[in-house]
Amino acid sequence: MRLVGVTAALAAAAMMLVGCAVKPGIPYDRTVAQVKTIGVLTPKFPDGPVVPLASNVGQSFGLIGALIDAGMQAERESKLTTMLKQQQFSVQERFLATLTAELEAKGYTVAVLPVPREAAGFVEQYPASPPTKVDAYLDIVTTAYGYVAAGIGASSPYRPLFSMNAKLVSANGASVLMQETIVYNLVRPRAGMFGDPYEHVVTVAPDPSHQFRNFDALMADPPTATLGMQAAADRSAQTIGKLLQ
Amino acid sequence: MSAISLMTARHIVGAALLAACVGCARSSALPPTLSLDANPCTAEPNLAGATPVPLDSEKPVTVTVDAVASCLRAENGERRSYAVFLLPETQSPYLVSVTSLLRGATLLSPRLLILDSQGKLARERQRDAFMFRGTSLYAGIRAYPGDRYLLVESDPATVGQRVSQVSSSTQTTAVATGTGGVFFLGTGGDVSRTLIYAHNGTLVVTLRPVPPAN
């Protein structure tokens, strides 16, 4: 069972870090869209944080090395999850609160609409009769959050990670008014013969005040680690606000 | 050096070349132009010299903005470099992407305006609408029938500012084992760079149809 779980973690980490080529975004035109009230659907979040090493020696030594690496990653993630709970920090709540404030500051009326999020991606059917009349739905899928290091060593510290896909859809579902992929602290694989799969990602550079030379240092400073997670959530929510200004 | 170790060395060099970036971006350095005070600027852009851009996402147009050749002087005395693009005549809306590429440490700090056939302003995106995509600044805007020109100007308020940016990357290198096999070594690292917003730089403009709703 543990081997299955570790293998699944390995596959998920690989997909998260490498993924597929991101398509070009769709820019928003506020003057034409005439959106005054935005229905923010419950953002989709993964079950817990990720703490990958984007590259390390274990990955270079076949399946056994990769499985060992995945096991170590799962252990880091368990520790970070426990730490964030002990700090009484919810990244979901923080993100939604900042997003709501940002949109209101931009002049929108915001209605938070709880919806079930069983599917992995965007909502398949938007509410036909929401409790509050809205002009558009903001659908956000957070694909990963946590901490990531590009490699091993002090020159590749752990920094917060937050990645999401965001889409604004007209209330009748007929038009995609805005769509982008946003990543705070993107660890970019070097472009190969097929180009850069993250060419179209909106990137937010990490705040250098939230970094740790290794995972032990991160665990030894829960308040700063939590602040880093908070900053990643805030900056990501602010980026959506900018896209809709 | 023995024949075997020489062969191994050649394999390693060859593998490293294979791992090299085939699609490496145009990143030759360009000294930043931080002042246009000595330039002979005009009050209106030269629309007759607009560079045509096709409505085809596979055919982006790249222009290097020469701050000496193209300069506007606003009524308040502000001086801006600019590039003007000719948009296609269409019956349907389409999407315009404007990207300012990093040239060494120089990054043209842009704002963009859509003009009609008379040169009148239809809509615009100020500097703060531009976002980073890696080391490039990008903004998108929708164009509609009747829109004829895209004017990209430098933003004097931000020119001269320096921005520090940390970016992380990984790469995989094929390494010969010396016994006829190859294994792939993954490494990663961080780079800290300083960008300088300038009046000059390289712009890439791409037009594409609005994708269908999904």
Distance from CA of A19 to the nearest CA of B (A): 14
Please say if the pLDDT value at position B214 is more than 90: no
- Chain A hits for B95, CB-CB cut-off 8 Å, are 24, 26-27
Question: Which pLDDT value is given to residue B28?
Answer: 86
| Cβ-proximal residues to A99 (8 Å cutoff; 6+ apart), any chain | A40, A43, A140, A237, A240, A241
What's the CA gap between B149 and B85, in Å, rounded?
6
Could you tell me whether strands B162-176 and A187-189 are parallel, antiparallel, or unpaired per DSSP bridges? Answer: parallel
Q: Are B172 and B19 in contact (CB under 8 A)?
A: yes
Question: Is B133 within 8 Å of A208 when comparing Cβ atoms?
Answer: no
- B206 to chain A: closest CA residue: A24
Q: Could you read off the pLDDT of B72-124 as tens digits, one per residue?
A: 999 889 999 999 999 999 999 999 999 999 999 999 999 999 999 999 999 99
Distance CA A115, CA A138 (A): 12
> Is B13 a residue whose pLDDT tops 80?
no
Q: Which long-range contacts (CB under 8 A, 24 or more apart) does B47-50 make?
A: B47/B84, B47/B115, B47/B119, B47/B149, B49/B84, B50/B84, B50/B85, B50/B86, B50/B149
Instruction: Out of A32, A150, A199, name the one closest to residue B133 (CB).
Output: A199
- Is the distance from CB of B71 to CB of B46 less than 8 angstroms? no
- pLDDT tens figures, B174-188: 777 667 766 666 677
Which chain A residues contact residue B190 at CB under 8 A?
150, 155-157
Residue carrying structure tokens 């809306």:
B93
Spatial neighbors of B69 by CB under 8 A, at least 6 apart, are none
The Cα–Cα gap between B136 and B161 comes to: 15
d(CA B208, CA A72) in angstroms, rounded, equals: 45
B115: closest CA of chain A, how far (Å) = 16
Contacts of B167 in chain A (CB under 8 A): 186, 188, 203, 205
Average pLDDT over residues A8-14: 43
What is the residue type of B159? V
pLDDT in the model for residue B169: 80
**Which amino acid, residue A37?**
T
The distance of A226 to chain B (nearest Cα, Å) reads 20
Distance of CA A60 to the CA centre of its chain: 27
Residue burial B77-87, b: 16+ Cβ < 10 Å; e: rest: eebbbbbbbbb
Cβ–Cβ contact B211 with A under 8 A? yes
pLDDT at res. A9: 44
Is the ipTM beyond the 0.90 threshold?
no
B153 membership: H or E segment, kind and range:
strand B147-154
Please tell me the predicted confidence (pLDDT) of residue A16: 45
